[in-house]
């Protein structure tokens, strides 16, 4: 089974997305930092990663690159959560786009958007 990985240092937003995943019965992992996500990622191929562009310990593009390198045989769709696309976020997006299949969602993401993403990419627990 390939889980969905959600990475966000905003605990309320992370809890909200995790609730939608849990209520939908989707296999997932949640992390509040880039390092925690990398530790949890060992041994998994993810069907999707939803990440914050600006984590406390690393930018989203750096985390995404490390995830891809840890499992170099697969492509990993990514949804990047953005606040206002200020200059810093634009820089991260510009570094992230050439690395793979990227979708941008504004924060906080609407439940309907999450439901659609999870239905498209997620695997339900048996």
| pLDDT for 83 | 81
pLDDT of 12 strictly over 90: yes
Q: Is the pLDDT of residue 126 over 80?
A: no
Distance CA 117, CA 110 (A): 11
| Residue 26 placed within a domain | yes
Q: What is the domain extent for residue 35?
A: 4-121
Q: Please, what sign has the CA dihedral across residues 70, 75, 79, 80?
A: positive
pLDDT of residue 32: 96
Task: Read off the CATH number of the domain in which 53 is found.
Answer: 3.40.50.2300
pLDDT in tens, 52-108: 988 999 998 899 889 888 776 567 888 888 887 778 888 888 888 777 778 888 888
Residue 3 Rama label (left phi>0; alpha psi -120 to 50; beta): beta
126 in a domain, yes or no?
A: no
Higher pLDDT, 47 or 101: 47
Read off the pTM. Answer: 0.88
In a domain, 18, yes or no: yes
- Per-residue pLDDT of 18-35, as tens digits, reads 999 999 999 999 999 999
């Amino acid at each position: 089974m390939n889980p969905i990985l959600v990475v966000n240092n905003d605990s309320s937003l992370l809890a909200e997305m995790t609730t939608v995943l849990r209520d939908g019965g989707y296999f997932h992992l949640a992390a509040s930092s880039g390092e925690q996500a990398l530790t949890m990622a060992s041994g998994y191929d993810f069907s999707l990663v939803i990440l914050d562009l600006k984590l406390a310990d690393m930018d989203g593009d750096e985390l995404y690159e490390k995830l891809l390198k840890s499992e170099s045989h697969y492509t990993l769709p990514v949804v990047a959560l953005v606040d206002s696309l200020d200059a810093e976020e634009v820089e991260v997006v510009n570094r992230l786009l050439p690395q793979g299949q990227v979708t941008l969602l504004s924060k906080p993401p609407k439940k309907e958007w999450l439901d659609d993403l999870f239905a498209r990419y997620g695997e339900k627990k048996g």
